[in-house]
């Protein structure tokens, strides 16, 4: 999969436009989580690209537009950019263009977006978006305006129907709601897979080791969509195999040991002793044990961790028995 980053001026168009014009089937969106609704859109994109004998392309944005406009009020990220690109690659997309969402990009008119990004930058031959798609400065462009631009510039336009589950539209917001409630099965049903967080293991304060529960620590640069104590499996661990290494994890700010801390993912892998620093892990969330809590002291905290670890081991024992 070819990945390029914006703005297109950095790649020297209009030469790029002349060379790529009429060669791509394109869809546009944030694709946060790449849930089942997104997957249906990608399947339609790939099918139409094959019919037209062109490459499929996803146009996405970094940061998320709502993070740019109101960072404090932005929704929790479901996937980091690297994880999103990995899922898009696995879905069989030929190209991804990551457009830098900044003040200049946000201020462009709907017409300029079509001309400079879709036509000039990507050479769009066929475009797939939702019927509620909005674009351009202050989200002033709508589907009807896009239809007019498509006729003007000579590319085909298709509206993607909603994908629903149990009467509810599948969306990134719906996934966030289920994760916030701790409903991991509901989130997995919307995503088509278990929810996971990926990142590199970094050094921590070694408190877990002192308590008898050494952890692999992954920093969370964006607010996570869930918090608490969970039964998890860790992928990317040496010797783990395709199912991952059984573990128990904490996502949160560790209120017992720190104040005003940033969120952290801490993973205790059962019966594992090797060094994982610098290794990229993917942590799959299987079951929520409890909410994060502040304990009176470290002794009480360790007692709670002991219970969490036992419950997690019991979960895996029951799962393996089934």
161 with 17, same domain: the answer is: yes
What pLDDT, on a 0 to 100 scale, did the predictor assign at position 261?
Answer: 67
Residue 53 lies in a domain: yes
List the CATH number of the domain containing 15.
3.40.50.620
pTM: 0.88
Work out the pLDDT band at 16, boundaries 50, 70, 90: very low
**Across 81-89, average pLDDT:** 94
14 with 132, same domain: the answer is: yes
117 with 251, same domain: the answer is: no
What are the tokens at 55?
Answer: 């490459």
144 with 22, same domain: the answer is: yes
143 with 242, same domain: the answer is: no
DSSP codes of every residue in 118-171: IIIIT-EEEEEEETT--BSGGG-B-HHHHHHHHHHHT-EEEEEPP-EETTEE--
Residue 281: strand, helix, or coil: strand
Residue 271: pLDDT over 60? yes
Give residue 266's Cα distance to chain centre.
19
Overall domain count for the chain: 2
249 with 138, same domain: the answer is: no
Domain that holds residue 293: 194-321
Residue 253: pLDDT over 90? no
Burial string for 142-179 (b: 16+ CB within 10 Å, else e) reads ebebbeebbeeeebebbebeebeeeeeebbbebbbbbb
List the CATH number of the domain containing 267.
2.40.30.30
Residue 24 lies in a domain: yes
What pLDDT, on a 0 to 100 scale, did the predictor assign at position 256?
Answer: 60
pLDDT tens for each residue of 125-172: 999 999 999 999 999 999 999 999 999 999 999 999 999 988 889 999
């Amino acid at each position: 999969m070819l990945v390029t980053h914006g703005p297109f001026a950095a790649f020297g168009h209009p030469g790029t436009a002349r060379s790529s014009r009429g060669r791509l089937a394109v869809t546009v969106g944030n694709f946060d989580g790449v849930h089942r609704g997104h997957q249906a859109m990608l399947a339609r994109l790939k099918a139409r690209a094959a019919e037209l004998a062109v490459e499929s392309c996803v146009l996405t944005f970094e940061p998320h537009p709502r993070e740019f406009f109101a960072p404090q009020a932005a929704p929790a990220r479901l996937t980091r950019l690297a994880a999103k690109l990995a899922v898009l690659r696995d879905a069989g997309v030929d190209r991804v263009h990551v457009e830098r969402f900044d003040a200049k990009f946000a201020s462009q008119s709907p017409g300029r977006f079509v001309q400079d990004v879709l036509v000039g930058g990507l050479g769009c031959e066929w475009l797939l978006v939702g019927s509620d798609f909005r674009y351009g400065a202050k989200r002033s462009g709508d589907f009807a305006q896009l239809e007019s631009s498509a006729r003007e510039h000579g590319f085909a336009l298709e509206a993607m129907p909603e994908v629903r589950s149990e009467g509810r539209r599948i969306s990134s917001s719906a996934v966030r709601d289920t994760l916030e409630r701790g409903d991991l099965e509901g989130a997995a049903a919307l995503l088509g897979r278990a929810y996971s967080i990926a990142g590199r293991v970094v050094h921590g304060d070694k408190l877990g080791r002192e308590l008898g529960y050494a952890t692999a620590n992954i920093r969370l640069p964006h607010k996570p969509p869930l918090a608490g104590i969970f039964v998890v499996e860790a992928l990317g661990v040496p010797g783990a195999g395709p199912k991952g290494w059984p573990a128990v994890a904490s996502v949160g700010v560790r209120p017992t040991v720190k104040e005003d801390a940033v969120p952290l993912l801490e993973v205790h892998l059962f019966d594992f002793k090797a060094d994982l620093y610098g290794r990229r892990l993917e942590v799959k969330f299987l079951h929520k044990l409890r909410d994060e809590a502040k304990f009176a002291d470290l002794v009480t905290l360790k007692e709670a961790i002991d219970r969490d670890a036992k419950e997690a081991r019991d979960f895996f024992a029951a799962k393996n028995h089934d």
